[in-house]
Amino acid sequence: MHIDDIKAVYAIKSRLQLNLNEPPNIALLAKEAHMSAPKLRKLFKQTFGKGVFEYYQSTRMQEAAQLLKEKRLTVSEAGYRLGFTNLSHFSRVFEQYMGMKPKKYQSQQ
């Protein structure tokens, strides 16, 4: 992998981490990274072990867990802050990644 590609993939990772309330647009990210979308997908997965969207969702759910644990936000507030407009979808995704519903997670903290 070329050093410029590595830098670009890490820049995309940072962008994802800073924009957890916006779903990633692969075409736009690839354009930013000056590479094709398939190349970005491949290099991102090679570098981080997860696809772009999977990385985005898992990072988003880790942030949701932190918000519920440390800032004591309601489940609704955490979901909305992370860009979810459908709270039942937020709850399903959270459970998929964290192994329990957000309310249960929060009550155990």
Is 80 exceeded by the pLDDT of residue 1?
A: no
- 47 and 72 co-located in one domain: no
- 69 and 38 co-located in one domain: no
Average pLDDT on 46-63 reads 97
Average pLDDT on 55-78 reads 93
Average pLDDT on 2-17 reads 96
- 17 and 45 co-located in one domain: yes
**pLDDT given at position 81:** 94
- 48 and 70 co-located in one domain: no
**pLDDT given at position 73:** 86
**pLDDT given at position 109:** 80
User: Helices then strands (H, E): number in the chain?
Assistant: 7, 0
Which stretches of 26-86 are DSSP H helices?
26-32, 37-48, 52-70, 75-81
Is 90 exceeded by the pLDDT of residue 12?
A: yes
Number of structural domains in the chain: 2
What's the CATH code of the domain at 72? 1.10.10.60
Cβ-contact 29, 12 below 8 angstroms: yes
